[in-house]
């Protein structure tokens, strides 16, 4: 998937392989009427994108639950194929839309993998593509400091193992400002073992250092988990979430949507 950041006044001027949307958090503090109008403009703009071009939405930190709920329910989620977010955005999304584990006020240390997995599954099952729902959402790239999870609806994406591993690699290199992982400057903070779900009988997983990417499946959704080699003294963290999602998308293979 070729990726290029460029400004154009109209989508008719070029034929992108992928469109990335970000900055919706900047609508916070505006009136409800302004927010509603901007969200409608976003949906309209997405509808103007050529058929078959996947759209990725990168979320950012928000404090307005009503705005987040509108993004989830007012056709923004169903209009995008892919979503990128971190642990704060994931929990806030669940709290705003009455999702699983929404009574949790905040994370305590490293986010519990089972809880994260439950929320990702809920998003794709409640707002993703299915036989009864006309939605394009089939992919979520979750990133937190210690680990990443790529969740995909079966049949729509390929090469997930390479994609989630690539995102984890760039997290370590960009934060340390190095071209390759410097083992002297990174540490492993991911849980050595975890449960894949907290709302149902999940599997118990013990990490294997020789095969660090773990895969599991749940009712038509595939999960790929990878630990992250965390930079101990980060020097460059601005835009890290965007870099992680971009690298994962670069290695992803989107199946044609019909």
Give the Cβ contact number of residue 154 at 10 Å.
Answer: 11
Active site residue 154: no
CA-to-CA separations, 91 to 94, 98, 118, 238, 245, in angstroms, rounded:
5, 10, 11, 21, 18
Q: How many residues does the chain have?
A: 258
Proportion of the chain in helix, strand, coil states, percent, rounded to 5: 35, 20, 45
Residue in 17, 112, 118, 242 annotated catalytic: 242
- Would you give the distance in Å from CA 188 to the centre of its chain? 21
Task: Of 17, 59, 29, give the one whose Cα is nearest residue 42.
Answer: 59
Which residues is 158 bridged to in the sheet?
253
- Would you give the distance in Å from CA 199 to the centre of its chain? 21
CA-to-CA separations, 41 to 38, 61, 96, in angstroms, rounded:
5, 21, 22
Residues with a known catalytic role: 242
């Amino acid at each position: 998937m070729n990726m290029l950041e460029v400004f154009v006044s109209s989508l008719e001027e070029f034929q992108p392989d992928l469109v990335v949307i970000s900055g919706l958090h900047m609508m916070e503090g505006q009136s409800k009427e302004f927010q509603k109008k901007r969200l409608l403009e976003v949906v309209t703009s997405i509808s103007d994108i050529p058929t078959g071009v996947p759209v990725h939405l990168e979320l950012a930190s928000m404090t307005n639950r009503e705005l987040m709920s509108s993004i989830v329910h007012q056709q923004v989620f169903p209009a995008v194929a892919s979503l990128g977010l971190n642990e704060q955005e994931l929990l806030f999304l669940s709290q705003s839309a009455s999702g699983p584990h929404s009574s949790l006020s905040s994370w305590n240390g490293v986010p519990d993998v089972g809880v994260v997995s439950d929320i990702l599954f809920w998003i794709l099952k409640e707002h993703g593509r299915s036989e009864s729902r006309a939605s394009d959402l089939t992919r979520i790239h979750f990133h937190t400091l210690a680990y990443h999870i790529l969740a995909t609806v079966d049949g729509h994406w390929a090469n997930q193992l390479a994609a989630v591993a690539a995102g984890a690699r760039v997290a370590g290199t960009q934060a340390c400002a190095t071209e390759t992982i410097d083992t002297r400057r990174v540490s492993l903070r991911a849980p050595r073992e975890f449960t894949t779900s907290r709302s149902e009988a999940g599997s118990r997983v013990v990490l294997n250092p020789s095969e660090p990417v773990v895969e599991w499946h749940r009712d038509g959704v595939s999960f790929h988990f990878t630990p992250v080699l965390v930079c101990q003294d980060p020097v460059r963290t601005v835009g890290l979430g965007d870099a992680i999602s971009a690298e994962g998308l670069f290695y992803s293979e989107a199946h044609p949507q019909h």
